[in-house]
Amino acid sequence: MTTAQVVHVYVDAACNGDPGACGYGLFMKHPSGQVERKMEVSQLTHIHEVEFAALFEGLKWARRFGYHQGRFFTDSQLVFDAVNQGAVKRARYKSFLDEILLVSADFSLFIVDWIPTRANKEADRLAKKACFHS
C-alpha cells in the first residue's frame, strides 16, 4: 500500500475536573480527503485514562472503515510515549496500553505521533463538546 491509503486519525480527550465528567473526540481524514467526526461521553473520569481510551476508540473506528494502515495523532505525551515505548510507568494505565497494542496488531502500519494541542483543534473541540454536553 502507498501512503495515499493511510488513514489519519486525530484523537483527544477532555474532562471537566480530574476526576470529572469526560469525553473524547475523533477526527478522521480519509485518503480521499473526506473527513469524519465522532465524539462520545466517557464513563472514565480521569483525563489520562480517557486519552488512552480515545486512541483505542480511534483504532477501532479506523478498523470498522476497513483500514489496516493508520497514522494516529495525539497531544498526550503520556499516550505517545507509552505506545511508542510499549510500556507505561503507572500500573493503572497498563490495561489501556495492552488493549491498544492488541488492536494495533491488525494494522500493517501503525504510527502514533505527538502533536501540539494547537495542531489538534478539531479533535479537541469535539472532546470538549462531548465533555461539557454530557
Q: What's the rounded Cα separation, in Å, for the pair 34 and 78?
A: 29
**37-59 pLDDT, tens digit each:** 999 999 999 999 999 999 999 99
**57-113 pLDDT, tens digit each:** 999 999 999 999 999 999 999 999 999 999 999 999 999 999 999 999 999 999 999
Nearest CA-CA partner of 126 in 67, 63, 50: 50
Buried b (16+ CB within 10 A) or exposed e, 45-68: ebbbbbbbbbbbbbbebbbeeebe
Q: Are 75 and 117 in contact (CB under 8 A)?
A: yes
- CB atoms near residue 71 (< 10 Å): 17
CATH topology assigned to domain 3-132: Nucleotidyltransferase; domain 5 (3.30.420)
What is the reported pTM? 0.94
